[in-house]
């Protein structure tokens, strides 16, 4: 008996064609610069937040517009620096919840304002927070903007600690050192927390809302510690911060700006020019989406969610 030739039925043939088109689209997008995790995520086939699984440390610069929110995953340890605005419909909360973090061992707030700690209530409602760090010079009692934030902290019974420059928090080989404020500047921005994260041979500096005065004092007080591989800029790249002197002292290889794609004034052109003059690689959440930096303590690997394909 002759063997009959197997011919794909119409439904199977259509599925095959669609699959091939899907593969080609992904390849084209990747070649164009889009991240494959972002593309697969659009089809529900991958989760961008887990792009860095397998690395010791992953630092997630969540796209929260013109504010900051950085999620840090280190083994069983989860840390959050700022939460973004509450008006962003819980962007940071959704990201951390989707990632699967069951608790936050530490939350660090640059200061008690809506763009840095506005989403603390919705996060605390879903994810237990062990401790929240605030600047020792956070003048909550004299600033009405902080009143609602402190009400949220009280409502969810969040344990707080007012910390100071020079203090270090350790989680195994991971350390977080407070570099600013070095004194009471009588300025909420300058009194915000700036933090340096170090793990083996890699380091990150989160500049908080430090302005030029606080930047200068960090350079003077921590000349041997301020140097960092990755720098998160203060004030979404506003020109009231990030001086040339500060950039030279930090000497970052990568600079990250958390900004809104709808903001015409941040980051400032002069700041971008200064960064480009250093030769550092610039990444922006308003253009690159959420940015994940992964490391095993030596090299850095970047994953960008992208704004589109």
Domain presence at residue 2:
no
Neighbours of 101 (CB within 10 A): 21
User: Is 207 within a domain?
Assistant: yes
Whether residues 162 and 42 share a domain: the answer is no
- Which residue in 156, 155, 161 sits closest to 176, CA to CA? 161
Residue 150: its H or E element = helix 147-155
Computed over every residue of the chain, the mean pLDDT equals 85
Residue 6 inside a domain? The answer is no
Q: Is 3 contained in some domain?
A: no
Q: Is the pLDDT score of 308 beyond 70? A: no
Examine the domain organization and report whether 59 and 30 are in the same domain.
Answer: no
- pLDDT, position 65: 81
- Is the residue at 40 inside a domain? yes
pLDDT tens digits, 83-112: 987 765 688 999 999 999 999 999 999 988
Count Cβ atoms within 10 A of the Cβ of residue 188 and give its class: 0-12 exposed, 13-18 middle, 19 or more buried: buried
The confidence score (pLDDT) of residue 87 equals: 64
Higher-scoring residue by pLDDT: 44, 307? 307
Does residue 85 sit in the same domain as residue 222? yes
Kindly state whether residues 95 and 228 are assigned to the same domain.
Answer: yes
Query: Same domain, yes or no, for 55 and 41?
Result: no
d(CA 309, CA 146): 39
Residues 133 and 249 in one domain: yes
pLDDT band at 44 (very low <50, low <70, confident <90, very high): very low
The 10 Å Cβ neighbour count of residue 142 is 6
Q: What is the pLDDT of residue 2?
A: 44
- pLDDT of 23 higher than 70: no
Residues 220 and 249 grouped into a single domain? yes
17 and 135: one domain?
no
**Domain annotation covers residue 198:** yes
SS (H, E, C) 26-81: HHHHHHCCCCHHHHHHHCCCCCHHHCCCCCCEEEEECCCCCCCCEEEEECCEEEEE
What span, in angstroms and rounded, lies between the C-alpha atoms of 167 and 296?
25
Q: What is the pLDDT of residues 203-244, one digit of tens each?
A: 999 999 999 999 999 999 999 899 999 999 997 777 899 999
What pLDDT score was predicted for residue 309? 36
Give the pLDDT band of residue 117 (cuts 50, 70, 90): confident
Residue that the structure tokens 């669609």 belong to: 18
Based on the fold, state whether residues 109 and 137 are members of the same structural domain: yes
Residue 241's closest CA among 307, 297, 187, 167?
Answer: 187
Q: Alpha-carbon distance 93 to 31, whole Å?
A: 32
Specify which of 47-56, 109-118, 198-207 reaches the highest per-range mean pLDDT.
198-207
Q: Is the dihedral of CA 241, 243, 246, 251 positive or negative?
A: positive
Q: Which domain holds residue 160?
A: 51-304
- Confirm whether 280 is domain-assigned: yes
Residues 64 and 23 in one domain: no
**Total domains, the chain:** 2
CATH of the domain at 235: 3.60.15.10
Same domain, 97 and 31: no
pLDDT digits (tens, 9 = 90+) for 127-151: 999 999 999 998 665 666 677 788 8
Same domain flag for 29 and 109: no
């Amino acid at each position: 008996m002759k063997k009959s030739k197997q011919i794909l039925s119409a439904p199977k043939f259509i599925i095959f064609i669609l699959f091939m088109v899907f593969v080609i689209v992904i390849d084209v997008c990747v070649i164009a610069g889009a991240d494959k995790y972002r593309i697969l995520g659009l089809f529900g086939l991958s989760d961008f937040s887990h792009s860095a699984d397998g690395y010791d440390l992953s630092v997630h610069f969540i796209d929260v517009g013109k504010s900051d929110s950085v999620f840090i995953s280190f083994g069983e340890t989860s840390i959050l620096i700022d939460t973004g605005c509450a008006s962003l419909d819980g962007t940071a909360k959704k990201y951390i919840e989707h990632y699967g973090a069951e608790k936050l061992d530490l939350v660090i707030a640059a200061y008690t304002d809506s763009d840095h700690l506005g989403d603390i209530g919705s996060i605390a409602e879903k994810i237990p927070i062990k401790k929240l760090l605030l600047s020792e010079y956070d003048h909550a009692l004299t600033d009405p903007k902080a009143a609602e934030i402190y009400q949220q902290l009280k409502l969810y019974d969040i344990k707080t600690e007012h910390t100071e420059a020079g203090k270090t928090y350790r989680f195994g080989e991971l350390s977080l050192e407070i570099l600013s404020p070095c004194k009471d500047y009588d300025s909420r921005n300058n009194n915000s927390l700036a933090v340096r994260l170090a793990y083996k041979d890699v380091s990150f500096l989160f500049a908080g809302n430090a302005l030029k005065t606080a930047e200068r004092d960090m350079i003077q007080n921590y000349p041997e510690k301020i140097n960092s591989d990755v720098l998160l800029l203060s004030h979404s790249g506003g020109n009231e911060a990030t001086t040339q002197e500060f950039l030279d002292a930090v000497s970052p290889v990568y600079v990250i700006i958390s900004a809104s794609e709808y903001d015409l004034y941040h980051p400032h052109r002069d700041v971008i020019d200064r960064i480009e003059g250093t030769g550092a690689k610039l990444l922006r959440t308003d253009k690159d989406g959420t940015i994940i930096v992964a490391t095993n303590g030596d090299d850095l690997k970047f994953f960008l969610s992208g704004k589109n394909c």
